[in-house]
Amino acid sequence: MQYRGRGNSLRQSHRNLLQLVITRYFRYVQEFVVPVALFAQMHSILEQMFAKDSGIAMPVLDRITVQIGEEWGPLLVSHNFDNLKVGRMLCKRLSEVNLDVKVSDSEMVTPCGFRSLVRYFLEVTDPETIWNLTLEDCTTMGQGYHGPADFSRCRNQVFISYVRTLLDLGVAINRLTLLDKRKISPYMMVMSLNKRRSIYMYPEFKRCRELFVCYDIGLVAPIFAHENDRFTSLQVFEVDESHVLYKRDLLEYLSSAPNLGEMRVVVPATWSRRVSTCTKGCFTNPDFACFRNTVHVRRSAKLQK
């Protein structure tokens, strides 16, 4: 079951409809994809419905994906899930929890609100539950290195805050995905006014089983500060269509993961493939006609004559 919507509140008619759906149909749902704005409304309804009843709303629910931030809704301190009893009324046990978080300049997500949600799910999980975390960067400042003063000011916008929140709660991260949603195409660098930005690789990023990075990799945490640490959980590392500015440093960064058995590098798409998948107003715009293969063929034919 998947829901797509906007906004942080429901009209009374929509709330009544949601309550009806929860009562009649949620008992059959096995996999649930939901934005946090709707999930907060569900929490509120469950709190009222099961105040005097110990029933379970979704008895066969096995996997859940909660989408957080931007169009999916905020997750602030005021949007807490402190009533952990309601979490036990949601389902019996979750075998997989997927948390997709978009961080942005508007700071619609905070580590405190995120911690509250994670503690909520811990009530219906066990050590065998798979936890996957996807972090998407929509900020203008990027995920570079921040000193202590800057870090305190922008903690709501940096990936490491949410990774540390999970680790502090004792959650073993299975898959950690780091995405740059404002990545500049290499073909547009000349025309773009934005500078290329890169991610600072904290050592905590290695405390997962699979690490996927779709973000240009810049500075790496110095190895001497963590020379005695061994990140035994990391088994798969992938760089997806991204630059690595300091390759030797990255390899040294990964050397403290003795169980790393697979390293993948996904190269960027070729120019022909990019053009073939473009929509009107992108590379197919007349301004980029000089880059098209057909134009190159015509010009070469003229030169041969």
Domain, as residue range, for 263: 12-304
In a domain, 3, yes or no: no
Backbone angles phi, psi at 300, to 5 degrees: -65, -35
Residue 1 resides in a domain: no
- The DSSP output letter for 224 is G
Contacts of 171 (CB under 8 A, 6+ apart): 118, 122, 131
pTM assigned to the model: 0.83
> What does the pLDDT read at residue 49?
76
Better-predicted residue by pLDDT, 83 or 94: 94
Q: What was the pLDDT predicted at 305?
A: 43
184, 142 in Cβ contact below 8 A? no
Model confidence pLDDT, tens digit, residues 182-240: 887 655 554 455 567 899 999 999 999 999 999 999 999 876 655 567 899 999 999 99
Confirm whether 131 is domain-assigned: yes
Alpha carbon distance 90, 69 (integer Å): 22
Number of structural domains (the chain) is: 1
5 is a domain residue: no
Contacts by residues 188-196 (CB-CB < 8 Å, ≥ 24 positions apart)? 196/243
> What mean pLDDT do residues 253-274 have?
84
Q: Is residue 57 part of a domain?
A: yes
More confident residue, 83 or 294: 83
